[in-house]
Amino acid sequence: MSAVTEQRDASPPEPPKGLSPRQKQRVSRGVQYAVLLVVVVVLAALADWKAIGQSFFNLDVARQGLPELFTVALRNTVIYTVSGFVLGFVVGLVLALMRLSTVAPYRWVSAIYIEIFRGLPMLLIFLLIGSLPLAFPGFELPGGVYGSAALGLGVVSAAYMAENFRAGIQAVPKGQMEAARSLGMPHMRAMVSIVIPQAIRIVLPPLTNQLVSLLKDSSLVLMLGVTAAQVELAKFGNDQASTHANPTPILATGLTYLLITIPLGYVARRLEARQGAGR
Amino acid sequence: MSTVKISDLHKSFGKLEVLKGVDFTVESGQVVCVIGPSGSGKSTLLRCVNLLEQPTSGTVVVDGVDLTDPDVDIDAARRRIGMVFQQFNLFPHLTVRRNVTIAQERVLKRRKDECDRVARENLEKVGLLEKIDAYPPQLSGGQQQRVAIARALAMNPSLMLFDEPTSALDPELVGDVLSVMRQLAEDGMTMLVVTHEMGFAREVADRVVFMDGGVIVEDGPPEQVIADPQHERTRGFLSRVLHPGA
């Protein structure tokens, strides 16, 4: 063994010139707090709180929107969203299967559909659906506004969901299809009983996000021209705001959207986390 | 019981020729083990027998039905051929019971209570009746593989194909699966087994087939192919498998 013990430098380290990194960090954070404080104080001093309260948080005006805000507007928003989602789900699944078909023309049709409807603004689709009676006088979609809304929301979300489903189906291990086929199941039966249920589980988080964005897009139904009974949240808020010459109803409508979108987003994140943990 | 007759079987993946003319037969009630180095084409051969791989040329005749005939009802043919995979391939979203009943119900159109009876009977056979309501991910690898065997048996196959059934298992779980297969062989099932388990091949197989480079090099009873191989390639392979590191 070597008996040599290294002599550690006992004298304190020489104080560095200027600030240490930690000191710099502290100063920087202090400055950020100071800026924030100044901004808040200036805003609070300059803002006309009374006017803001009158305009945006006018409870009297908000109360006049009740209970229709929930019983009519929210209800219709949910109906439009869910019917669009169901249509998009079914059509999207069919498109995904076509996209994976061995028959080339099916693949083309599906690819073209997806490209078109992912590439167009949803607003344009609604304008188009709204003008169908112009092109075909006397033509009416079954279900009236409800049918038109489901169609508009459905055809666009189908394009997005098709891509989700395709990814999900491809994420199911190949051995699942092989095991099903070797039990004598025809291809379609194996798809329906074995592959698709697993694929849907895989794409549950993105589908939930799709539902959230459909909920917001359902505001475009106002482009179809709706009666008071068919009104959804966004138009309802806008109409109320016009009637009372006060934007409070728009804010109330916004809160109502958040009432649904925030929990749904939470559910989506939970599903994602659970999937990350399992398997 | 069933017979398999394979003649001049070729299979290529793109430019890669994996099977270069394979001829062989399995008689009814026989257990044939296929051994050979990885990449020798033995799994491909097995997968050609139930047409999971489409042969490039040649014929595969099972029970007198030429599966390579374009007009053959492949789904009907596959019902009679059980397949057990290296990775088990149980349906993870279904219970053990449903794994074993779904094809009976959807393919054979058996009545529900009949499906359930057959499922119980076969799970009993592989010693896993108490797991009937579990989901596959809750089972060990060895248990999953035994459920996979029960799932295949529930279709009353006349031929069972095993594609390296114990290769994905922890060593201590291999024995349970092999003893289920041994019991099956004793019951007279026609079996074609791709395996690295030389002990199983020697004990249970009626014939051992050694493949290398896409052809059958040696084919005979285990006491010949394993104990007294005639070909240099067989000898080399066996010494590597039986005495690894030597």
Does B135 lie at the interface with A, CB-CB under 8 angstroms? no
What ipTM does this complex have?
0.94
Which residue in chain B is spatially nearest to A174 when comparing CA positions? Answer: B89
**Whole-number Å distance between alpha carbons of B76 and A220:** 52
Q: Rounded to an integer, what distance in angstroms lies between the CA atom of residue B235 and that of residue B225?
A: 9
**Helix, strand, coil proportions of chain B in percent (round to 5)?**
40, 25, 35
How far apart, in whole angstroms, are the C-alpha atoms of residue B182 and residue A260? 59
* pLDDT tens column, B32-86: 999 999 889 999 999 999 999 999 999 999 999 999 999 999 999 999 999 999 9
pLDDT at res. A276: 65
Q: What is the pLDDT of residue B203?
A: 92
Kindly state the tokens that stand for A149: 């809304």
Which one of B52, B137, B155 has the shortest CB-CB distance to A184? B155
- Rounded to a whole number of angstroms, the CA Rg of chain B reads 18
For position A173, what pLDDT does the model report?
A: 96
A186 close to B75: Cβ distance less than 8 angstroms: yes
Q: Is B92 in CB contact (< 8 Å) with chain A?
A: yes
Measured between beta carbons, the chain B residues lying within 8 angstroms of A185 are 75, 103, 106-107
Cross-strand bridge partners of residue B59:
B7
Best CA proximity match to B160, nearest among B185, B177, B183: B185
Q: Between chains, do A182 and B92 touch, taking CB under 8 Å as contact?
A: no
CB B40 within 8 A of CB B200: no
pLDDT of residue A13: 61
Residues of A with a Cβ under 8 Å from any B Cβ are 173, 175-176, 178-186, 189, 193-194, 197-198, 201, 278-279
A185 and B75 in contact by Cβ < 8 A? yes
User: Is the pLDDT score of B100 beyond 50?
Assistant: yes
CATH architecture of A65-278: Orthogonal Bundle (1.10)
Token digits of residue B138: 């809750």
Tokens 């289920």 found at: B180
Domain borders along chain A are: 65-278
Q: Taking CB atoms and an 8 Å limit, are B107 and A185 in contact across chains? A: yes
SS (H, E, C) A184-246: CCCHHHHHHHHHHHHHHHHHHHHHHHHHHHHHHHHHHHHHHCCCHHHCCHHHHHHHHHHHHCC
A185·B106 Cβ contact <8 A: yes
Tell me how far apart the alpha carbons of residues B184 and B187 are, in angstroms, rounded to a whole number. Answer: 5
Q: List CB contacts of A167: < 8 A, sequence separation 6 or more.
A: A202, A203
Q: Identify the pLDDT of residue B25.
A: 93
Strands B4-13 and B207-212, bridge-based pairing: unpaired
* Cβ(B158)–Cβ(B63) below 8 Å: yes
CA distance A90 to chain B (A): 21
pLDDT in tens, chain A (279 residues): 444 555 555 566 666 678 888 999 999 999 999 999 999 999 988 888 888 887 788 887 778 878 888 888 899 999 999 999 999 999 999 999 999 999 999 999 999 999 999 999 999 999 998 888 787 877 777 888 899 999 999 999 999 999 999 999 999 999 999 999 999 999 999 999 999 999 998 998 899 989 999 999 999 988 888 888 888 888 888 888 888 888 888 898 999 999 999 999 888 888 878 776 544
Q: A176 to chain B: which residues are within 8 Å by CB?
A: 89, 91
Q: Do A179 and B81 touch (CB under 8 A)?
A: no
If pLDDT is split at 50, 70 and 90, which confidence band does B219 have? Answer: very high
Q: CA A123, CA B224: separation in Å to the nearest integer?
A: 77
Min Cα distance B11 → chain A (Å) is 18
What is the rounded distance in angstroms from the CA atom of residue B6 to the CA atom of residue B169? Answer: 30
Give the position of tokens 């993946």.
B13
Please enumerate, as own/partner, the contacts of B124-132 that have beta carbons within 8 Å and a separation of 24 or more.
B125/B150, B125/B153, B125/B180, B125/B183, B126/B150, B126/B180, B127/B176, B127/B180, B128/B96, B131/B96, B132/B95, B132/B96, B132/B97
Q: Give the H or E element holding residue B7.
A: strand B4-13
Distances (CA, A) of A189 to A194, B54, B119: 8, 20, 20
More confident residue, A237 or B163: B163
Predicted local distance difference test score (pLDDT) of residue A1: 47
